[in-house]
Amino acid sequence: MMDLDIVAVDGKEVNFKENPFETVYFENTNPTSESKRTVRVKNTSPILVPFHWSIYKQKNSQKISLENEDTHYRVEPAQGKIPGGQCIDFEIYFCPQHAEPYYEFADLIIEDIPITSVRDPPEGLKSFAQANTSKNAKVPMPTYVGSNT
């Protein structure tokens, strides 16, 4: 079973399972300047987990975004592999163009892992996998797509 846990934000330990959150806020940032937050993720499974980030503007649980849009955020590293039992620090950068709030989204896309190995996959992901593995699909999609937001 593949399992990733958020273990710290900006160097402060968190217990994500007891106190889950979905939003990371940034301090007020002047236009064209940049601020950064760091999220540490631990791969608690024994397998190597390849990943990439998808960043987009509109949240739609029925649609999986496969490419980045023109957003005000970026995540580094944007792609790579997390070794089994290891942690990785993701740096999330925010660079606004104007003095206004920006609500954008980032999904950590797990590659080459069977959906059956993902603990509690989101409903949108399950629907995506089921729809694209049915006999009615014009272009069959792999069933090993996995996402952990």
Taking only the tens place, the pLDDT of each residue in 75-84 is 999 999 999 9
> Hey, is 98 helix, strand or coil?
coil
**Residue 122: is its pLDDT beyond 80?**
no
> Looking up tokens 């069959």, which residue turns up?
140
Give the confidence band of 132 by pLDDT, cuts at 50, 70, 90. Answer: low
- Structure tokens given for 28: 């007020």
Taking only the tens place, the pLDDT of each residue in 8-60 is 999 999 887 787 777 888 888 888 899 999 999 999 999 899 999 988 887 76
Residue 9: the pLDDT is 92
> Domain limits of the chain?
4-148
Compute the chain's Rg from CA coordinates: 16
Mean predicted confidence (pLDDT) in 112-122: 76
Residue 144: the pLDDT is 42
Strand pairing category for 12-13 and 49-56: unpaired
* Domain with residues 4-148, CATH architecture: Sandwich (2.60)
